[in-house]
Amino acid sequence: MKYFANLKFFVYNLKYMKKYSVGVDLGGTKILTALVDKNSGEVISHIKKKTKKQKGPENIIKKLIESIEELLNESQIPLEEISSIGIGAAGQIDRENGIIIGAPNLDCFNLNLKEILTKHFTLPIFVGNDLEIAAIGEQKFGAGRDCDDFVCIFVGTGVGSAIIKNGRIIYGATGTAGEIGHIIVDLNGRPCACGAHGCLEAYASRTAIETRIEGALKKGRKSAIQDYLEPGKSITSSMIHKSIEREDELVVQCVTEAAEYLSGGIASVINLINPKLIILGGGLIEAVDYFYQKTIKKARAKSLPVPAAKIEFKKAMLGDYSGVIGAAFLEERKL
C-alpha cells in the first residue's frame, strides 16, 4: 500500500512540474493557439490564423497543426514542461474520444481530431467545445473565479452557453447541454440553422442584428452605420457601438429588439436553473455596453421575483483569451 501511495505522490508531482499547456480556440473565422502558464493563467505566446470553412476540413487541420508547431518552436519551452494540448471547437463534441461530431461553422463532421493530432504530437490531446473552454477560462481566471454556480453566455455568430454547477460543467446525457441559442422564443418565428423555427439565436446573435440592419438599409432606411460600411465587408461590433453613441434610430432599434429576446432567453435560464451568476461575453457584449445593460435589466425584470432578487450579472473578463486559457485546462476536466 505504501508503495502505491508513494507512486501516486510521485506521479502527482510529475504532473505539476509541468508548468505550461497549449490551448487552442478553433472557431469559424480564426484559430487562436496559445501557450498558457497554468499557475498564473498568463498567455506566454500566441498565434492567430484565419480559417475559411469553404476550403474544407483538410485546410483547417493543416492550419491547426502548423499553428501548434509554430507555437512550440517559437516559445522555446522544453516539451517536458508542457502537459497537454487542449482544443475547443465550435460544435458538438465526443469528449471521451476527441471527435468533432458536427461543427457546421467549420464544415467538420465526424472528425477524429485526437487521432489526427496524436500522430503529430507526443503530448496528450483533449477536445471540448467553444463555450466549455470559455467557461473554464472565466472560472479559472476571469469573472467566475469566486463562483462555483454560474451560466456563461456568449453572443456572437450564434448564442451559446455553458452551465457550471458545484464547480463542474453540466454536460447532459448526450454532452449537448447549454444550447441556449435554440431555446424557442417564437413558435412561428424565423427559421434557424438547426431546422427549427423561432430559436433565440435567430433574434439575439450578432448575425441576427446584422441581418436586421442590412435588411432595413436595403429597403432604403437611412442610418449612421452607413458612414462606416465598406463595400463587401460586413457590419462589425465596433460599427454598432459607434452608431449607438450617435443615437442612431435604426441601430438602437435593432439592438434593443435583440436585447428584448436575449433577456427573455436569460430569464428562462434563471427560472429553470437558478444560478448565482450569469456571465455574458462575446464581441458584441464587450463593444456595446448599451446591449449588455439593456439585456441584464430586462432579464431581471422578466425573471421570477425570488431568483431575480439574487441573480448577479458580470461581463466576461478575459476577452479573446478566455477560450485558449480554458482549453489549456481541459486536461483537468472530469467527464
Contact criterion met (CB below 8 Å) for 156 and 282: yes
Stretch that binds Zn ion, among 169-177, 181-189, 262-270, 279-287 (CB under 5 A): 181-189
Q: Does 204 interact with Zn ion (rule: CB under 5 A)?
A: no
Considering the complex, state which of residue 19 and residue 197 has its C-beta at the smaller distance from Zn ion: 197
| Number of residues lying near Zn ion (CB under 5 A) | 5
Q: What share of the chain is helix, strand, coil (3-state, %, to 5)?
A: 45, 25, 30
Helix (H, G, I), strand (E, B) or coil at 48: strand
By CB under 5 A, name the one of 194, 224, 229, 317 that touches Zn ion. 194
By CB under 5 A, name the one of 7, 14, 170, 196 that touches Zn ion. 196
Stretch that binds Zn ion, among 6-14, 46-54, 138-146, 179-187 (CB under 5 A): 179-187
Considering the complex, state which of residue 124 and residue 189 has its C-beta at the smaller distance from Zn ion: 189
Crossing angle, helix 249-273 and helix 237-245, to 10 degrees? 110
Stretch that binds Zn ion, among 58-66, 194-202, 217-225, 277-285 (CB under 5 A): 194-202
CB atoms within 10 A of CB 149: 15
Minimal distance in Å, beta carbon 177 to Zn ion? 15
Considering the complex, state which of residue 199 and residue 267 has its C-beta at the smaller distance from Zn ion: 199
Minimal distance in Å, beta carbon 211 to Zn ion? 15
For 7, 23, 44, 75, 118, the CA distances from 14, given in Å and listed in that order, are 10, 20, 22, 22, 21
Query: Which residues neighbour 129 within 8 Å (Cβ) at sequence distance 6 or greater?
Result: 88, 89, 90, 91, 92, 93
DSSP 190-229: -B-TTS-BSBTHHHHSHHHHHHHHHHHHHTT---GGGGT-
Considering the complex, state which of residue 205 and residue 243 has its C-beta at the smaller distance from Zn ion: 205
Q: Does 327 interact with Zn ion (rule: CB under 5 A)?
A: no
Considering the complex, state which of residue 199 and residue 251 has its C-beta at the smaller distance from Zn ion: 199
Q: Does 192 interact with Zn ion (rule: CB under 5 A)?
A: yes
- For Zn ion, the binding residues (CB under 5 A) are 182, 192, 194, 196, 199
